[in-house]
Amino acid sequence: MAIHIHNLYCDANGESHWRDLDIGWENEGPEGKTSAHQFANGIIFRQTQAEHDRPWHPAPRRQYIINLDAGVELTASDGESRKIGAGEIVLVEDTSGKGHLSKSIDNQMRHSIFVPIE
């Protein structure tokens, strides 16, 4: 078993799409399992208001988004939508083109962690 990552990326024509990534385990010991080292450029904590729905927009940078306590529905420009729930991770890489739509789920305030990787 691995860590599942939802990945929103942009193709050469500027269209965003979904794919699934799995981060495998590199090490296992008495404290548990760990993946290979992943590079990052900091951490950003975010609170998003319950009524926060955003029109089409590209991601501001390549980054992991980890939802802590509520979900968000993200729609790629090809029309596919995914609900990313609490505890799930998405890697947004659609930094050009039309981008994606963001919609709150169940009108809940959401706390998340952004981990830039560029």
What's the pLDDT tens digit per position in 67-79? 999 999 999 999 9
d(CA 64, CA 61): 10
For position 15, what pLDDT does the model report?
97
For position 115, what pLDDT does the model report?
98
d(CA 4, CA 20): 7
Give residue for tokens 């799409």: 17
CATH of 3-13+40-116, one of 1.20.1250.20, 3.30.9.10, 2.60.120.10, 2.102.10.10: 2.60.120.10
Q: Assign 51 a pLDDT band (cuts: 50, 70, 90).
A: confident
All structural domains of the chain with their residue ranges:
3-13+40-116
Q: What is the CA radius of gyration of the chain?
A: 15
For position 79, what pLDDT does the model report?
97
Residue type, 84: I
For position 1, what pLDDT does the model report?
78
Kindly state the average pLDDT of the residues 106-115: 94
Kindly state the average pLDDT of the residues 40-60: 94
Give residue-wise pLDDT tens across range 82-108. Answer: 999 999 999 999 999 999 999 999 889
d(CA 52, CA 107): 8
Which among 63, 47, 86 has a CA at the least distance from the CA of 7?
63
Query: Helix, strand, coil shares of the chain as percentages rounded to 5?
Result: 0, 55, 45
For position 28, what pLDDT does the model report?
94
For position 52, what pLDDT does the model report?
85
d(CA 23, CA 3): 5
Which residues partner with 13 through β-bridges? Answer: none
For the chain, give the mean pLDDT.
95
- What's the first-to-final CA gap in the chain, in angstroms? 27
